Amino acid sequence: MRTDLRTGTPTGTSEEAGGGTGALTGRTALVTGGGRGIGRGIAERLARDGARVAVHYGSNETAAKETVAAIEAAGGSAFAIGVELGRPDDAEALWEAFDRHADGLDILVNNAGIGTASPIEAIGEQEYDRVFAVNVKAPFFIVRHGLGRLRDGGRVINISSGLARTAVMPDKVAYAMTKGALDVFTRDLSKVLGPRGITVNSVAPGIIDTDNTAELLHGTPDGWARAAAISALGKVGSPADVADVVAFLASDAGRWVTGSWVDATGGSLT
């Protein structure tokens, strides 16, 4: 049965609902980098499950508003907030924007990030500092300044990467290092927030079909096939594949999972 996103009432088929359950009705979620790619998939899925979703964007306001419009067209509730991460006081600015729309938070998804970095022989200090500022420092201080807004029993979900556990792409070492740091943050934060009933987990995608991977997948005639061969399932993942894992962790069904690194690579590490 399809569930009305505002009331949780069954109204149609599960196929029409795209997997929505109403399990998050009454909760508020924030998805950083929620306008495109994996972030958009997560934002739309959480909204289908009933959450009111803050769709954060750094620079692409159009994409964020399109995501909000898609959520609303499906019967959900969402709003966009724009703050460029990786700059001084970015976390405070993000929460100031959030506070204009909501008075508390149940689910925080730290998804925004720079998705690549130059090889060690080419990367300069400015690029290195930038990727760490966006991928590590920003999530840390978003949580730091959001502690008073995050309700007891809430969820923090950090989007990591399979590259944190494998050297299959050693040319992206700086990027992989940021995800390793994010995973340590997940582990320790789970102990800090556990007494409040807040779970904290990392979800690690593999190669996902987004605009960020367009060159890898479509830049050569065999790009897609080579990427699919990395997965034990012989496929390239979609944003929905990751969003479904996040939705589980965000729901009551995921209440006993915390401090974990969840492999969402489609078996790319096997």
Burial of 155 (0-12, 13-18, 19+ CB in 10 A): buried
| 161 catalytic per annotation | yes
Residue in 14, 77, 128, 161 annotated catalytic: 161
| 77 catalytic per annotation | no
Percentages (nearest 5) of helix, strand, coil residues in the chain: 45, 20, 35
CA-based nearest residue to 25, from 3, 44, 41: 3
Residue in 65, 118, 128, 160 annotated catalytic: 160
| 128 catalytic per annotation | no
CA-based nearest residue to 38, from 158, 172, 146: 158
Residue in 179, 202, 251, 268 annotated catalytic: 179
CA-based nearest residue to 190, from 154, 226, 221, 220: 154
CA-based nearest residue to 162, from 197, 198, 202, 129: 202
CA 153 to chain centre: 19
| Residue ranges of E strands in the chain | 2-3, 10-12, 28-31, 52-57, 77-82, 105-110, 150-159, 199-205, 261-264
Contact 64, 56 (CB under 8 A): yes
For the CA atoms of 147, 149, 155, 158, what is the dihedral angle to 10 degrees? -60
Return the biggest CA–CA distance within the chain.
57
Residue in 57, 172, 175, 235 annotated catalytic: 175
Task: Provide the 8-state DSSP code for 256.
Answer: T
| 175 catalytic per annotation | yes
Active site residues: 160-161, 175, 179
